[in-house]
Amino acid sequence: MEPPAANGRELDVLWPAILDSLAPNQRVWLASSKPVMLAESTAVIAVPNEFTRTQLEGRLRTRLEDALSDSLNRPIRIAVSVDETLAPPEGSPEAGVPSAPDQAMTRSDSTGPGMAGHGMSGFVTQPHQQAPMETRQQSDLSTNIQMGAASLTTGIPDSPLNPRYTFETFVIGSSNRFAHAAAVAVAEAPGKAYNPLLVYGDSGLGKTHLLHAIGHYVRSLYTGAKIRYVSSEAFTNDVINAIKDANTAALQRRYRDVDVLLIDDIQFLEGKQQTQEEFFHTFNTLHNANKQIVISSDRPPKRLTQLEDRLRNRFEWGLLTDVQPPDLETRIAILRKKAAADRLHAPADVLEFIASRIQTNIRELEGALIRVTAFASINHQEVDLTLAEIVLKDLIPEGGEPQVTAGLIIAQTASYHSFSIEDLCGPSRTRALVTARQIAMYLCRELTDLSLPKIGQQFGGRDHTTVMNAERRIRKDLAERQTVYKTVNELTMRIKQQAKQA
């Protein structure tokens, strides 16, 4: 993913051309507008006053978003900021009477990082330095960036986010592509895309990383947005203390007066009635106010059996997505990134070796790399395969992960779709069979280390390019078609369970 604010120039070039394409009576509204930045799918445009903002957000929005989306070949949304230093020409429609600033949005004293090269800071502008108090307040009030109708609140200090857990440091693979895409969507339009977003999966697969990344990205797009990250354990402690100190008002302010609540490891709330009660009301307050809630869990809500039904039901209102153990290529990519970030020197064959041996937990994967490089350093040795083998022998238990075979994948996929194995591997090209076959091929790529031609052989001697196309197709569908995503997910679980019992 491009870092936010990296594409400012692209927008600088595009914006005048897009204005040129408007009818003169539309263009006249935007003569003083200025492109601020392009972050993923959001283009931030500054205008001189609230009046113009209303015009842009109203009748001109669709026209401009369509033009930008066409030019950039991806869906683009517009966020509008007000920058009073952009004076409209006297007598132009833009100079029309500015509407009153939105009183619901309070002034922010946020000193968060601003958007590059602009006198304002994304969600709320910094005060103009020498401006008299009155003008300054007016300016502060009227310089919020808004996404549609919902506005983000400002004012309390944020909870700390791990600076290493960003979208830039997150490696995308088939195991987490959907979760990543959902997380980006939520960060770009908090409270709008999916609410709540619930990410579940086994330990060490990047759930916390994604929660923090959402927080960072929201912060970069909407300076001043109130983001609170909390583990469910810390939330429980806060509830206990608030009850003990008879100070639930402070607790409620802390968790209900936010724009984005990121709550990690929700399974810890199981069996804790009072904490669940408090969280239920927090959830309702935030959800009713269109504030974003992001939850992580080690299980899907249905399996959080010690959680009240009303909470579990609410968790299913938005989007559920899981993170799976990464495939070999993703594991290698994660190790490469980690090695570069931490300046750990390890040759490619060692990274591949570690990635091939540790398959289920990214934390363990990173831990192994650290162990290997630390061992080499302590013993003043080069990092090489022999050394890595010695270190990993201690780290990995005998037996390792269950072995998944192509035969098992084919059998499970056939039975899931009520086809025979002969049909699945045979020549028929009915739509349902083709999809099931492609899913099975995709799973062979992901869950086994078989080469493309070997997988092709398993499916009645098909060519390796057929397998390649199937993989590409399903990868794309996974991010776009919920049914494919669910099937792949369910099948993966079944196959692994079966492999364990074998």
Residue keyed to tokens 């238990």: 397
Binding mask 258-297 for ligand ATP (x = CB under 6 A): -------x--------------------------------
Residue keyed to tokens 């969507």: 185
- The whole-angstrom separation of Cα 233 and Cα 265 is 8
Shortest distance, position 165 Cβ to ligand ATP, whole Å: 6
Nearer to ligand ATP, 165 or 283 (CB): 165
217 and 4 Cβ atoms separated by less than 8 Å: yes
Per CB under 6 A, which of residues 142..201 are in contact with ligand ATP? 165, 169-171, 176, 201
Shortest distance, position 216 Cβ to ligand ATP, whole Å: 13
Among residues 183, 214, 258, 334, the one that binds ligand ATP under rule CB under 6 A: 334
Q: What is the number of the residue whose Cβ is closest to ligand ATP?
A: 206
Binding mask 28-47 for ligand ATP (x = CB under 6 A): --------------------
Shortest distance, position 376 Cβ to ligand ATP, whole Å: 21
Shortest distance, position 233 Cβ to ligand ATP, whole Å: 11
Residue keyed to tokens 């927090």: 282
Shortest distance, position 368 Cβ to ligand ATP, whole Å: 12
Q: Whose CA is closest to 136, among 126, 125, 127?
A: 127
Among residues 177, 207, 226, 445, the one that binds ligand ATP under rule CB under 6 A: 207
Shortest distance, position 169 Cβ to ligand ATP, whole Å: 6
Among residues 196, 206, 318, 325, the one that binds ligand ATP under rule CB under 6 A: 206
Residue 448 annotated as part of some ligand binding site: no
C-alpha triplet 84, 85, 90: angle, nearest 5°? 85
The pair of three-digit structure tokens given for residue 473, joined into one six-digit string: 């197709």
Q: Whose CA is closest to 160, among 242, 250, 230?
A: 230
Per CB under 6 A, which of residues 339..368 are in contact with ligand ATP? 362-363, 366
- The whole-angstrom separation of Cα 325 and Cα 493 is 11
Could you tell me the strand order of the sheet in which 77-82 lies?
A: 34-39, 42-47, 77-82
331 forms part of the interface with ligand ATP (CB under 6 A): no
- The whole-angstrom separation of Cα 29 and Cα 25 is 7
Among residues 238, 298, 329, 384, the one that binds ligand ATP under rule CB under 6 A: 298
Residue 206 annotated as part of some ligand binding site: yes
Backbone angles phi, psi at 37, to 5 degrees: -165, 160
Q: Three-class SS of residue 158?
A: coil
For CA atoms 191, 252, 217, 165, the dihedral sign is negative
Nearer to ligand ATP, 40 or 265 (CB): 265
The pair of three-digit structure tokens given for residue 86, joined into one six-digit string: 């952009």
Nearer to ligand ATP, 205 or 439 (CB): 205
Nearer to ligand ATP, 93 or 300 (CB): 300
Tally Cβ neighbours within 10 Å of residue 99: 12
Distances 251 to 90, 245, 347 between C-alpha atoms, Å: 50, 11, 50
Residue 204 annotated as part of some ligand binding site: yes
Tally Cβ neighbours within 10 Å of residue 349: 11
Nearer to ligand ATP, 65 or 202 (CB): 202
Nearer to ligand ATP, 290 or 360 (CB): 360
Nearer to ligand ATP, 284 or 356 (CB): 356
- The whole-angstrom separation of Cα 177 and Cα 158 is 28
- Residue 277 contacts by C-beta under 8 Å, 6 or more apart in sequence? none
Count of chain residues binding ligand ATP (CB under 6 A): 19
Among residues 204, 215, 224, 318, the one that binds ligand ATP under rule CB under 6 A: 204
208 forms part of the interface with ligand ATP (CB under 6 A): yes
The pair of three-digit structure tokens given for residue 200, joined into one six-digit string: 């579940």
Task: Measure CA 340 to chain center.
Answer: 23
Nearer to ligand ATP, 71 or 360 (CB): 360
Nearer to ligand ATP, 139 or 232 (CB): 232
303 forms part of the interface with ligand ATP (CB under 6 A): no
Q: Which stretch, 101-109, 204-212, 309-317, 418-426, contacts ligand ATP (CB under 6 A)?
A: 204-212
Shortest distance, position 298 Cβ to ligand ATP, whole Å: 6
Strands (E), 280-370: 292-297, 319-322
Shortest distance, position 262 Cβ to ligand ATP, whole Å: 11
Shortest distance, position 236 Cβ to ligand ATP, whole Å: 16
218 and 187 Cβ atoms separated by less than 8 Å: yes
Tally Cβ neighbours within 10 Å of residue 42: 19
- The whole-angstrom separation of Cα 483 and Cα 492 is 14
Tally Cβ neighbours within 10 Å of residue 438: 22
Per CB under 6 A, which of residues 118..137 are in contact with ligand ATP? none
Residue 207 annotated as part of some ligand binding site: yes
Among residues 67, 76, 124, 205, the one that binds ligand ATP under rule CB under 6 A: 205
The radius of gyration of the chain from alpha carbons, rounded to an integer in Å, stands at 26
Q: Three-class SS of residue 39?
A: strand
Could you list the residues that contact ligand ATP (CB under 6 A)?
165, 169-171, 176, 201, 203-209, 265, 298, 334, 362-363, 366
Residues annotated within the binding site are: 204, 206-208
Residues annotated within the binding site for ATP are: 204, 206-208
